Amino acid sequence: MPRNGQKLFSTVDDQVTLLRDEKGIQINDEAFAKDILFRIGYFPLMGGYKHLFRIPLTKNHKTGTTFEEIFALYAFDADLRELVFRYLLQIERHIRSLMSYYFTKLHGEAQSEYLNASNYNNSQRNNSALSKLIRTKSAGISVQSILTKWSRCFQFLPSSEMFVPTESDCLPLRRWIL
């Protein structure tokens, strides 16, 4: 029984048994299923894709639903996300380059021009966000202050392989850093 709304630990064997016996999902290759569950995890795999294989308004899965079908959908979705993300990054890079090019062409290359509010669309709608951004950039932020903020939000320090997330339960660190 879960305590305080938390899920209890289940071995990969337990997860396969749950899927097969309680969820009614057909598993054609148990070794494959165990490997996938070990590498991806139960909830990332089953949490996002189970609804497409369920009978509406029930928790029962459609007859003939296989683990391999659910994994195939997961793999397709992962490939699609990676493809879209790759091109979104290229678009973002191009827009950044254009913005930098035209901003510098209009206002010069002095870094102080980036902190001059009159160089932006300083409408009433944008004023608050622009003022906050300029104050933050003007103050300068140290690596130490970023790590302090991170550890306060997440109770651990990031490893060198991690990146700053764009959203969290805390204030978005990316926005705080900018």
Judged by DSSP in three states, 16 sits in helix
Half-sphere exposure of 98 (CA within 13 A, CB side): 6
Say what the pTM is. Answer: 0.59
Q: Which residues are paired to 61 by β-bridges?
A: 54
- For residue 5 the two structure tokens come to 């709304």
DSSP letter for each residue of 117-169: GGGS---HHHHHHHHHHHHHHHH---HHHHHHHHHHHHSSPPPTT----S--S
pLDDT at position 1, please?
A: 52
Q: What are phi and psi of 6, to 5 degrees?
A: -90, 145
Distances 49 to 3, 23, 31 between C-alpha atoms, Å = 25, 14, 21
Q: What is the rounded CA–CA span in Å between residue 69 and residue 146?
A: 43
Residue-level pLDDT, tens digit, the chain, 178 residues: 556 667 788 999 999 999 999 889 999 999 999 999 999 999 999 888 778 888 888 877 899 999 999 999 999 999 999 999 999 999 999 999 999 999 999 998 888 888 888 888 878 888 888 888 888 777 776 666 777 776 777 766 555 444 444 444 444 444 444 4
Chain centroid offset of residue 58 CA: 29
pLDDT at position 177, please?
A: 42
Look up residue 141 and give its amino acid: I
